[in-house]
């Protein structure tokens, strides 16, 4: 699903020469992800993770790289990027190229996650948000703000896909009705699902995939994790509370965040339902490998709509 742009032997050789990696020995396309083309890239010097950015231009890629460098200085575990080549200096069919050291460790599936692991994720995410101080965010653009998501929905051809018509209307109405309170903002990952955290034992080895990072509302990240990690057929409160309370100990939620957390949660549901429509349903549908069903986030939206203002935060913080 994620291998949208192929990597030819000539392209691979050109990338290896740019980074002085020696002869190319293997290029393995990866099905992981939904937006970019990703590969394992093996050369005479070792094995690396190679990314072609399908939606980001050089300016967006430069922001991600600067962010990774900053987070490293703040002690946040992130992938180690190979340096020496600027994002506007190397591309494949116009797609900027990045190379990262291959990350060891493993990804936890849902049945391997308990309250201890959720507390570790809460602590790590809070430290990401606290690292916002002193980091200039002007170069970032939130591609998943409500207005941007509504623009995505407007591109869905509901005549060609009548099965999407009602859900597209619902998502557009949800996004249009979201309030815009003044909530704390800074560095947000935007996509911290289980496949974007690498573990070594019970310790977080790295937070991966900062391609969607932007200047945004901290509470958005909080609810992404709750709804991605702590949802089976419903919200698992033991996991969600372990995460939220660990986060709150490092970076306490403000009164405004607590009041509007339900609104933020509804925005998260609409965001991922929308992008799963455009990135999965419209690119092949349920029969494609790696398909992610947008309707699972409609079920989460149903649940989040039941919370009155302030009630979701009180529930997660065990009050």
Same domain, residue pair 39 and 130: no
| Same-domain pairing of 87 and 115 | no
Q: Please indicate, yes or no, whether residues 91 and 146 belong to a single structural domain of this protein.
A: no
Same domain, 210 and 95: no
pLDDT of residue 34: 60
Spell 16-25 as b/e; 16+ CB within 10 A means b.
beebebeebe
**Is 40 found in the same domain as 152?**
no
Answer with the one of 101, 128, 157 that is the final residue of a domain: 101
Is 217 part of any domain? yes
Output the six-digit token pair for 154: 């407007």
Provide the residue range defining the domain that includes 74: 9-101
| pLDDT tens, residue by residue, 196-233 | 999 999 999 999 989 888 888 999 999 999 999 999 98
Residues 28 and 122 in one domain: no
Q: For all residues of the chain together, what is the average pLDDT?
A: 93
Residue 1 lies in a domain: no
pLDDT tens for 229-286 read 999 989 999 999 999 999 999 999 999 999 999 999 999 999 999 999 998 899 887 8
- How far apart, in whole angstroms, are the C-alpha atoms of residue 198 and residue 65? 19
Helix, strand, coil percentages (3-state) for the chain, rounded to 5, are 45, 15, 40
pLDDT score of 142 more than 80: no
Query: 193 and 77 in one domain?
Result: no
Using DSSP's 3-state secondary structure scheme, residue 136 falls into coil
Higher pLDDT, 305 or 30: 305
Beta bridge partners of 198: 206
Q: Which of 77, 101, 125 is the last residue before a domain boundary?
A: 101
Residue 4 lies in a domain: no
Same domain, 76 and 148: no
pLDDT at site 228: 96
How many other β-carbons are positioned within 10 Å of the β-carbon of residue 62?
A: 16
**144 — pLDDT class (breaks 50, 70, 90):** confident
Name the domain count of the chain: 2
| pLDDT reading at 139 higher than 50 | no
List, in sequence order, every residue forming a beta bridge with 97; answer none if it has no partner.
52
Q: Is residue 58 part of a domain?
A: yes
Task: Please state, in angstroms and rounded to a whole number, the distance separating the CA atoms of residues 190 and 150.
Answer: 17
- Rounded to 10°, the helix 295-304/165-177 angle is 40
CATH number at residue 68: 3.30.200.20
Mean pLDDT calculated for residue range 28-37: 79
Q: What is the pLDDT of residue 1?
A: 43
Q: What is the CATH number of the domain that holds 178?
A: 3.90.1200.10
């Amino acid at each position: 699903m994620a291998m949208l742009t192929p990597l030819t032997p000539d392209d691979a050789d050109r990338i290896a020469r740019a980074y002085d990696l020696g002869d190319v020995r293997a290029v393995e396309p990866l099905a992981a992800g939904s937006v970019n083309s990703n590969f394992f890239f093996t050369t005479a010097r070792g094995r690396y993770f190679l990314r072609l950015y399908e939606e980001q231009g050089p300016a967006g890629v430069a922001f991600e790289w600067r962010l990774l460098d900053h987070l490293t200085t703040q002690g946040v575990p992130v992938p180690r990027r190979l340096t020496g080549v600027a994002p506007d200096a190397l591309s494949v069919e116009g797609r900027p190229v990045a190379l990262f050291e291959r990350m060891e460790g493993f990804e936890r599936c849902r049945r391997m996650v308990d309250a201890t692991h959720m507390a570790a994720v809460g602590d790590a995410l809070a430290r990401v948000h606290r690292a916002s101080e002193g980091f200039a965010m002007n170069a970032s653009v939130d591609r998943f703000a409500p207005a941007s998501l509504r623009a995505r929905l407007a591109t869905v051809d509901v005549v060609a896909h009548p099965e999407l018509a009602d859900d597209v209307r619902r998502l557009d109405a949800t996004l249009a009705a979201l309030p815009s309170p003044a909530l704390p903002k800074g560095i947000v990952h935007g996509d911290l699902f289980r496949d974007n955290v690498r573990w070594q034992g019970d310790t977080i080895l790295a937070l991966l995939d900062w391609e969607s990072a932007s200047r945004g509302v901290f509470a958005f990240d909080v609810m992404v994790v709750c709804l991605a990690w702590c949802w089976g057929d419903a919200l698992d409160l033991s996991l969600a509370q372990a995460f939220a309370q660990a986060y709150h100990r490092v970076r306490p939620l403000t009164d405004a965040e607590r009041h509007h957390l339900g609104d933020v949660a509804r925005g998260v549901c609409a965001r991922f339902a929308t992008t799963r429509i455009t990135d999965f349903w419209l690119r092949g549908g349920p029969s494609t490998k790696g398909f992610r069903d947008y309707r699972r986030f409609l079920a989460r939206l149903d649940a989040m709509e039941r919370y009155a203002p302030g009630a979701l935060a009180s529930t997660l913080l065990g009050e």
